[in-house]
Amino acid sequence: MSKVITSRKEDYNKWYNDLVLKGELADYSAVRGCMVIKPYGFGLWENMRDILDKKFKDTGHQNAYFPLFVPKSLFEAEEKNAEGFAKECAVVTHYRLKNNPEEAGKLMVDPEAKLEEELIVRPTSEAIIWNTYKDWIQSYRDLPLLINQWANVVRWEMRTRLFLRTAEFLWQEGHTAHATKEEAIQETKQMIDVYADFAENYMAMPVIKGVKSESERFAGAEDTYTIEALMQDGKALQAGTSHFLGQNFAKAFDVKFADKDNNMEYVWATSWGVSTRLIGGLIMTHSDDKGLVLPPRIAPIQVVIVPIFKGEEQKQELLQTLESLAKELKEKGIRVNIDADETRRPGWKFAQHEMKGVPIRLALGLRDLAQGKIELARRDEGTKELFAIDEVIKRIPNLLEEIQDNMFSKAKAFRDNHITKADTLEEMVKILDEKTGFVSAHWDGSAETEEEIQKQTKATIRCIPLNNIEEEGKCILTGKPSKQRVLFARAY
RNA sequence: CGGGAAGUGGCGCAGUCCGGUAGCGCAUCUGGUUUGGGACCAGGGGGCCGCAGGUUCGAAUCCUGUCUUCCCGACCA
């Protein structure tokens, strides 16, 4: 765990930015609030995407693609949704540039080319998709409609942070239509389970599944299910959401179907998404002062091999062994990279691969080769050990799993240690200030109370956990009766 | 949208108060020695100092305007 974690917020933010930049995941771009995802970072995203995509398909979904632009009239059809996103929409108003007559070599927006209707760059695709679904759904035979899209969206945020809150980000958004309310709710829950499974078993990031309070709910949803993770600085991160949309969008876009008895009914809807924000969560869950620590299951490179040599002859001698070793590992489905770059020295490479979070590093020099040994270093624990070369090949698949499990256990222990009960507001503030993390407290269920608590503590209700136990108590603010505790935290 | 700070080779910065030949570290290029935890020595290349005006014999430096970025809040996934 990083020493900067306990330090000031600015230091923590600098630590985080350094991890992203030095870990070669992404860079700032020339466009305000946007980032360039570098090949290594994109490789990580691709791995995550592929696993999720398979899970979506395994649960019966198909991929499709819808337009980037949403005509304003469509966008405003579902009022609450439109209102919720209105403040952060990028809007296309013109379709042409022309030479500026007053300044040679410069372009200007052609005032003649004003669009009759403005186009909104999608902040989310419900509007354009439901406008399409209207034509796709006629009968109960067309249901359920289970579609996902991988896309970029734009939200013009006041303040941006690499991966966590960029003006443009990559995500997937699932949009489904169902004949019954029960089936739609079932779908909503199923997808939050898929997300939780992915977060915990692939990203090694423990999450709490729960339901959002009314004020934290997605604009236009009846219910929002969430997975909440805890970062090393004690702040919570909403890592994924799944929304039960009721019939709000069906009514707004007039999506009806004929049931078996030939009655026209509105369909029931869900939507769910996770974004490149997950990468931000991954970084802040596992990394240390040496750089990123990536879980083996999604790491772009799982094993990096560093030969230590002087001159071409020695290099070739080592490569003979290393290439066959790499080949064997690849046959076991392991992502291996031999870093035989002659222009970098071993120490530099060690530091570099640690910054990039590669789970296992193998180093081989002639000294080891003579004894038939190879050095193996674990990124998660920072330990080094010598193994016989043929033994290491057998050992690595299990070791990758061990590292995966170890990372999850460590993160989970930290998270579990940072769920603290509080019965008074003073207690809660003290915990939030000093210990940080989640505070489990009673709440009377009203939005006013939640708002007041937020004003006084800067913490919001992260979720009402799904596995909550009933417990009689009194609201931490108003003293009104409450049947369960909910989780508060300061959040990203 | 409020409050701060900053824009100087690819990156990180000094120089600005007190105007006078544009510097340092990293990176890069060449040559050599090196190579088991971010190598060393020597030599070289690269910048109209964010942009636009103004003051001045002379502006990175002073003045005015403007744009952008970052940080802290508020808002948000």
Tens of pLDDT, residue by residue, chain A (492 residues): 344 454 567 778 888 888 898 899 988 877 778 888 989 999 999 999 999 999 999 999 999 999 999 999 999 999 999 988 988 888 888 888 888 777 666 677 888 889 999 999 999 999 999 999 999 999 999 999 999 999 999 998 878 888 998 888 999 999 999 999 999 999 999 999 999 999 999 999 999 999 999 889 998 999 999 999 999 989 999 999 999 999 999 999 999 999 999 999 999 999 999 999 999 999 999 999 899 999 999 999 999 999 999 888 899 999 999 999 999 999 999 999 999 998 899 999 999 999 999 999 999 999 999 999 999 999 999 999 999 999 999 999 999 999 999 999 999 999 999 999 999 999 999 999 888 999 999 999 999 999 889 888 889 999 999 999 999 999 999 999 999 999 999 998
Count of Cβ atoms closer than 10 Å to residue A39 Cβ: 11
Q: Which of residues 208-227 of A touch strand B (CB under 7 A)?
A: 216, 218-219
Q: In the structure, how far is the CA atom of residue A22 from the C1' atom of nucleotide B13, in angstroms?
A: 18
Count of Cβ atoms closer than 10 Å to residue A197 Cβ: 14
Q: Residue A3 gets which letter from DSSP?
A: G
| Torsion, CA A423, CA A427, CA A429, CA A432, rounded to 10 | -90
CB of residue A308 closer than 7 A to nucleic acid strand B?
yes
Nucleotide nearest to A169 (CA to C1'): B77
Nucleotides of B under 7 A from a protein CB: 1, 28, 34-39, 68-77
Protein residue closest via CA to C1' of B69: A32
CB of residue A322 closer than 7 A to nucleic acid strand B?
no
Q: Which of residues 380-439 of A touch strand B (CB under 7 A)?
A: 384
Alpha carbon distance A383, A292 (integer Å): 16
Q: In the structure, how far is the CA atom of residue A103 from the C1' atom of nucleotide B52, in angstroms?
A: 14
Alpha carbon distance A396, A403 (integer Å): 10
Quick check: A290 and A355 in contact, CB under 8 A? yes
Q: Which of residues 102-141 of A touch strand B (CB under 7 A)?
A: none
Nucleotide nearest to A351 (CA to C1'): B38
CB of residue A360 closer than 7 A to nucleic acid strand B?
no
Structure tokens at A60: 């019966």
Q: Which of residues 274-303 of A touch strand B (CB under 7 A)?
A: 275-277, 290
Residue keyed to tokens 């004949």: A179
- Classify the C-alpha dihedral A75-A79-A84-A88 as positive or negative: positive
